[in-house]
Each structure stands twice: as C-alpha cells, then as structure tokens.
Amino acid sequence: MDDKVKFEMEFVIQASPALLYTYISTPSGLSEWFSDNVNSRGEFFTFIWDGSEEQAKLLSKKTGERIKFRWVEDDEDGASYYFEIRIQVDEITKDVSLMITDFAEEDEIEEGKMLWTNQIGSLKQVLGSR
C-alpha cells in the first residue's frame, strides 16, 4: 500500500465559531453538509453517502475548536491517517477559518482537495456564508 501524504487547506467562513463547531462536531450538524446522514454511537460515527457507509472513530475533540477522526478501515490497518477540522480565529481581524487536515495517495491529493472544497461549499451554503 502506498503511503498517503498529508495535506492542509484553509477556508474563510463568515460564521461564529460556536455555530461552526456545532456543524463540525455533531451528527445532525455533519449530516447538513458532510454526508447524507450521520449516526454516532459512543466514539464511532457512521457516515452515509448514497447508501454506502463509512465508519470513523472519534480520536479527539476540543469543544469550540476542533474535531479529529480516523476512518475505521485505516484504524484496522494500523495506519495513523486521520482527518481533522479545526476552527481558527484571527486575533486581529477576527476572521474565522476552517483548517482541514487530511491524507490522500499522492496521485489523489487534488481530488481530495476538490472534495473538501465542495464539502465546505455545501457548509457555507447551509450557513448562508460567502
């Protein structure tokens, strides 16, 4: 198996950090923009897209700030890959950004970035943000 490469992205979002955190950390919030439906049982989240399911394990979260998941498939393979969604507020301008950290095969990084751009576009639409 090829090693995946870490990539990071930043999206400026016009929304309060508290509201944003609800959308990135709760099953109901995530199902508004990230996947068709999300269920959680303890530390496991099930993401559903067009009838297919992917399970992710909640690795860590810091209220109001960030959430980090690992796909169960990667966990079972012993891989240390994860995806993290972090809220960052510029101290001077008070601009709110979502920082995305994810991993992809080297030849799939652009596809991964495009996917996140589309997902965050959906989130902005739900929030009424530009």
Average pLDDT, rounded, for the chain: 94
Rg of the chain on CA atoms, in Å: 14
Q: Domains in the chain and their CATH numbers?
A: 4-127 (3.30.530.20)
Phi, psi of 73 (to 5 degrees): -55, -45
Do residues 44 and 56 make contact, with C-beta atoms less than 8 angstroms apart?
yes
Q: What is the pLDDT of residues 68-122, one digit of tens each?
A: 999 998 878 888 899 999 999 999 999 999 999 999 999 999 999 999 999 999 9
Q: What is the pTM of this model?
A: 0.92
Do residues 101 and 82 make contact, with C-beta atoms less than 8 angstroms apart?
yes
